[in-house]
Amino acid sequence: MMLDAAIIGMGRWGRTLVDSVQGKNGSGIRFVAGCTGTPDKARGYAAEKGITLHDGLEPILADRSIGAIVLATPHAQHAEQVIAAAAAGKHVFVEKPFTLTQASAQAAVDACRKAGVVMALGHNRRFLPAVAEMKSILASGKLGTLLHVEGQFSGPGGFTFQPGGWRADRAESPLGGMGGMGIHMIDLIISLAGRFQDVRVLSKARVLDTIDDTTAMLATLESGATCTFATLGAATRYWRCALFGSDGLVELRGHEQLFFRAREGGEEWTRDYPVTDIERAELEAFAAAVAGGPEYPLPLDEAIHGVAVFETMIGAAASGSAYAVPA
């Protein structure tokens, strides 16, 4: 069974999603329609991919032949678009961040549950084989008691944000790199180590004139483990997540390499994993869930909690609760 979908938002990332599955056997999903805020820029691409370009979301929602919509739109539009899609009986795949407030995330989830449609969130790092191994190691007890989690996701994307563009709008990109990058690491930490209990945040613009380029967090998880995290919007691309336990540590270096070290004198290894098309993997999982297969591997309660963490980080940064070190 093939799921006919529409892509909403046909900028760089919308096209990345389309390209990951369009014309490829076995994906279970194809894009047949789309709309974008800049249609003139998308006409050639839409024709090349066999996508019927519409003037807006409304005619797509009214088309009964379209079973799902995939949202690659500005963050602040997500909740309203998800609710509209659910009301039209469309399954929804939404790019991160899901929404910018816990209340709007809950409203969107409630609408999908009421309509009986599948809602999936695009946290694609959950589909990395190395992440599955990290979860297995933690669950096995090889790390002992989890003491601390470290996360880092940074890149140079902020240098490309132009004044007037939506990503350069602080309302759309609070805490700088959190919207495009850091929220992925927050979701990964939730997936691996559980829910957050509290956060403390510093966020500032060191080199950019548009948004914050340096955001750092210190947090406590509900398990009692501590957590440190940073996302930099004007730096060399970097991805790292490490779990530190009383009996060992495991560290994800990039997407494809895992390092494990037991306490002194014990096991130690480094493993490389094959490159995975995580955009295709997440869309295939969405299509499979729509077809009645396995549930999408991101529980909706965790999707809401990730937004709650993001919203709380925004408030913590604004509070400025930093203490000066005595001279």
pLDDT value for 226 = 97
Task: Count the Cβ atoms, other than its own, within 10 Å of residue 80.
Answer: 15
pLDDT value for 325 = 58
Query: Domain spans of the chain?
Result: 3-124, 127-279+308-319
Torsion of CA 82, 83, 89, 93, to 10 degrees: 10
What confidence tier does 172 reach under pLDDT thresholds 50, 70, 90? Answer: confident
Least confident of 44-58, 132-146, 159-173: 159-173
CATH number of the structural domain 127-279+308-319: 3.30.360.10
Predicted TM-score (pTM) of the model is 0.94
pLDDT value for 235 = 96
User: Do the domains spanning 3-124 and 127-279+308-319 agree at the CATH topology level?
Assistant: no
User: Which regions of the chain does DSSP assign to beta strands (E)?
Assistant: 3-8, 29-35, 52-53, 68-71, 91-94, 119-121, 146-154, 196-204, 214-221, 226-232, 238-245, 248-253, 257-262, 268-272
306-315 per-position pLDDT tens digit: 999 999 999 9
282-326 per-position pLDDT tens digit: 999 999 999 999 999 999 999 999 999 999 999 999 987 666 656
Least confident of 33-42, 97-106, 170-179, 183-192: 170-179
Structure tokens at 304: 């809401």
230-259 per-position pLDDT tens digit: 999 999 999 999 999 999 999 999 999 999
CB under 8 A, 24+ apart: contacts of 269-276:
271/130, 271/133, 273/128, 273/129, 273/130, 273/133, 274/129, 276/127, 276/128, 276/129
What confidence tier does 164 reach under pLDDT thresholds 50, 70, 90? Answer: confident
Please say if the pLDDT value at position 327 is more than 90. Answer: no
- Average pLDDT score over residue span 101-105: 96
Quickly name the fold that domain 3-124 has: Rossmann fold (3.40.50)
